[in-house]
C-alpha cells in the first residue's frame, strides 16, 4: 500500500518552490520509507534552486525520522526504529552495491529521480543513506547531523585530523563553519579563529568554541590571522619568523575565501616540517587560482573535503554522543524553524544571510 506524502518540488521552470501531495510506492528490496520529524535546510540547496534544470527536482538531504516500511533486503533497521537520513553512504568501505536512486512520479506531470529527498513529511531512500539511531535522541535538532555537523566537524576530525594544540581558522561561520569550530574545540585546538563579515556571527561562534574573531570586512583577514598566530619555536627559510595557522578551513566556497585559506596557513621549512594545510569544505561555484610557487616553497597543502570525509555509521554515534553530553549544543545551532508550507520564506531567509546558524523544517508528529 502506498504512503501519502507532502513533498517540496523545485519546478522545471522558474518560479517558487511548490508543495505537492504524492503517493510514495512501497519500498523496493533495498529501500526504506521514513516518516520525518525534521529536516535541515542546507545552503547547498540554493545552488540547486539557482541552477538551470530540464526537469522537476526534489530537495533536502539531512533529516531525523522513524522507519515506516522497509524492503526485504534491508537488515540494519526495523519498522519503528529512529533513523538519520544523509546523502553519504553509511559505510562505503563495506557496502559494495551501488545505491538505488528513487524515481517519484509527480502529480501535474513530470518525474524526479534522486538518492534522497528530505523536504517532505514522508520520504523513501536506499538503505545506504539511512543510519540507525537510539530512540531517545532529540527528534528535531539532530536532523542537521546528516550534513552540517558531518561536513564541518568531519573536515576537522577526518580530512585534516587536527591535533591538540594546533591552530585553526574557519572562514564562514554558518551551520557548517560552526560545526567545524565545535570539532576543533573537541580536538582541543588552540587558537580557534572564526572569520566572517558579521560581528554578531563572530560573537555567536564563541559559543561553539571560537577563541578569536576576525571581521574580513575590516581589513585583510590573512594579515589579521598572521598577526594573531606566531610559532616562536619555528624558523622559516632564511631564519624568518613563522606565523599563520596550522589549518584553515573554507566553509563558504567563494573565490575570495578559497584564495585566502592557503596564504592564511603557516609556512614550512623543508627537511624540518611541512607547512600548514588549507581545507576546502564549502561547495565552490567558480574556479580558483593558487600561488603554486608559495605552495611548493613553503610545503603547504590544499585539500578538499567532501561530507567531512565521514563514515556515517562510525561518526554519527559520536556526534550524537557529543550532543547527549552537552558538548555539541544543537539547540543553539538550530536558530530558525519552519513548517513545510513556509519553505519559500525559509530559502529566502537563507539566501539573504538571515540565518545565524542552521534552519530546519519541522513536521507534525
Question: pLDDT tens track of the chain, all 365 residues?
Answer: 899 999 999 998 888 999 999 999 999 999 999 999 999 999 999 988 988 888 899 999 999 999 999 999 999 999 999 999 999 999 988 888 889 899 998 987 789 999 999 999 999 999 999 999 999 999 999 999 999 999 999 999 999 999 999 999 999 999 999 999 999 999 999 999 999 999 999 999 999 999 999 999 999 999 999 999 999 888 777 778 899 999 999 999 999 999 999 999 999 987 778 999 999 999 998 999 999 998 998 999 999 999 999 999 999 999 999 999 999 999 999 999 999 999 999 999 999 999 999 999 999 75
Same domain, 293 and 259: yes
Same domain, 223 and 80: no
Say if 323 falls within a structural domain: no
Hey, is 115 helix, strand or coil? coil
Number of domains in the chain: 2
Same domain, 164 and 75: no
Q: Pull the grid cell for residue 142.
A: 539532530
The answer for residues whose C-beta is within 8 angstroms of residue 289's C-beta and 6 or more apart is: 259
Same domain, 56 and 178: no
Same domain, 169 and 228: yes
Measured distance CA(282)–CA(297) in Å, rounded? 26
Same domain, 64 and 153: no
Measured distance CA(112)–CA(55) in Å, rounded? 7
Same domain, 110 and 221: no
Say if 106 falls within a structural domain: yes
Say if 237 falls within a structural domain: yes
Hey, is 237 helix, strand or coil? helix
On whether the pTM is more than 0.85, the answer is yes
Say if 313 falls within a structural domain: no
Write the CATH number for 197: 3.40.50.720
Say if 312 falls within a structural domain: no
Same domain, 132 and 256: no
Write the CATH number for 342: 3.90.180.10
Say if 93 falls within a structural domain: yes
Same domain, 167 and 226: yes
Same domain, 118 and 241: no
- Its domain, for residue 25, covers 3-136+329-362
Measured distance CA(203)–CA(195) in Å, rounded? 11
Same domain, 163 and 299: yes
Same domain, 174 and 207: yes
Amino acid at each position: 500500500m502506498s504512503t501519502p506524502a507532502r513533498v517540496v518540488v523545485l519546478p522545471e521552470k522558474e518560479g517558487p518552490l511548490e508543495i505537492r501531495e504524492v503517493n510514495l510506492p512501497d519500498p523496493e528490496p533495498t529501500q526504506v520509507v521514513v516518516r520525518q520529524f525534521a529536516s535541515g535546510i542546507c545552503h547547498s540547496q540554493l545552488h540547486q534552486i539557482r541552477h538551470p534544470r530540464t526537469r522537476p527536482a526534489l530537495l533536502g538531504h539531512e533529516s531525523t525520522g522513524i522507519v515506516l516500511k522497509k524492503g526485504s533486503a534491508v537488515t540494519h533497521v526495523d519498522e519503528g526504529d529512529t533513523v538519520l537520513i544523509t546523502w553519504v553512504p553509511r559505510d562505503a568501505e563495506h557496502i559494495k552495491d551501488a545505491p538505488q536512486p528513487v524515481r517519484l512520479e509527480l502529480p501535474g506531470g513530470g518525474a524526479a529521480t534522486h538518492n534522497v529527498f528530505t523536504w517532505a513529511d514522508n520520504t523513501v531512500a536506499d538503505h545506504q543513506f539511512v543510519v540507525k539511531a537510539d530512540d531517545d535522541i532529540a527528534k528535531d535538532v539532530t536532523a542537521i547531523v546528516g550534513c552540517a555537523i558531518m561536513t564541518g566537524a568531519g573536515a576537522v576530525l577526518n580530512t585534516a585530523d587536527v591535533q591538540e594544540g594546533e591552530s585553526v581558522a574557519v572562514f564562514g561561520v554558518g551551520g557548517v563553519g560552526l560545526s567545524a569550530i565545535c570539532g576543533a574545540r573537541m580536538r582541543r585546538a588552540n587558537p580557534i579563529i572564526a572569520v566572517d563579515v558579521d560581528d554578531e556571527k563572530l560573537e555567536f561562534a564563541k559559543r561553539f568554541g571560537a577563541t578569536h574573531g576576525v571581521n574580513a570586512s575590516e581589513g585583510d583577514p590573512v594579515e589579521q590571522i598572521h598577526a594573531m598566530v606566531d610559532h616562536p619555536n619555528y624558523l622559516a627559510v632564511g631564519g624568518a619568523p613563522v606565523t599563520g595557522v596550522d589549518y584553515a578551513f573554507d566553509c563558504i566556497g567563494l573565490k575570495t575565501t578559497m584564495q585566502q585559506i592557503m596564504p592564511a596557513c603557516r609556512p614550512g621549512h623543508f627537511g624540518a616540517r611541512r607547512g600548514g594545510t588549507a581545507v576546502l569544505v564549502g561547495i565552490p561555484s567558480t574556479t580558483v587560482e593558487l600561488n603554486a610557487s608559495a605552495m611548493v616553497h613553503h610545503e603547504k597543502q590544499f585539500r578538499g573535503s567532501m561530507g567531512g570525509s565521514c563514515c556515517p555509521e562510525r561518526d554519527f554515534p559520536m556526534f550524537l554522543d557529543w550532543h547527549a553530553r552537552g558538548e555539541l549544543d544543537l539547540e543553539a545551532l538550530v536558530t530558525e524553524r519552519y513548517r513545510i508550507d513556509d519553505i519559500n520564506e525559509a530559502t529566502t531567509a537563507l539566501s539573504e544571510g538571515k540565518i545565524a546558524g542552521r534552519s530546519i523544517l519541522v513536521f507534525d508528529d
